[in-house]
């Protein structure tokens, strides 16, 4: 029986932080999609559902809370973790 790999969308504009998060979760067995901005995140969100979203509040082209509203509108049960640094 094959186990289900959880899908994670990482939205983080800082390249080093995005790479660190992506590597960590891939090593933990997640299927990770990483985006650097709100527009890329919106495209990913519109194309498929993720098991969880980890998103920076401050994005270079968008407000993370606006992207959160879109996730909630399309996938209300998807957990979203908002982070900032």
31-83 pLDDT tens trace:
999 999 999 999 999 999 999 999 999 999 989 999 999 999 989 999 999 99
Query: Domain holding 76: CATH number?
Result: 3.40.50.2300
The answer, yes or no, to whether residue 25 has pLDDT greater than 50, is: yes
In a domain, 76, yes or no: yes
At 85, is the secondary structure helix, strand, or coil?
A: coil
In a domain, 41, yes or no: yes
Structural domain tally of the chain?
Answer: 1
Across the chain, the runs of DSSP E, i.e. the strands, are 7-11, 31-35, 52-56, 80-83
- Asked whether 74 and 48 are in contact (CB, 8 A), the reply is no
In a domain, 2, yes or no: no
- Identify the CA nearest to 50 among candidates 36, 67, 31, 37: 31
Domain range for 74: 7-83
Residue 32 confidence (pLDDT): 98
- Asked whether 8 and 30 are in contact (CB, 8 A), the reply is yes
In a domain, 1, yes or no: no
């Amino acid at each position: 029986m094959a186990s289900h790999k959880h899908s994670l969308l990482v939205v983080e504009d800082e390249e080093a932080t995005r790479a660190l998060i992506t590597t960590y979760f891939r090593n933990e067995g997640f299927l990770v999609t990483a985006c650097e901005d709100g527009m890329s995140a919106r495209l990913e969100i519109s194309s498929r559902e993720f098991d969880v979203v980890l998103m920076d509040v401050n994005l270079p082209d968008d407000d993370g809370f606006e992207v959160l509203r879109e996730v909630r509108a399309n996938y209300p049960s998807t957990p979203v973790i908002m982070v900032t640094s």
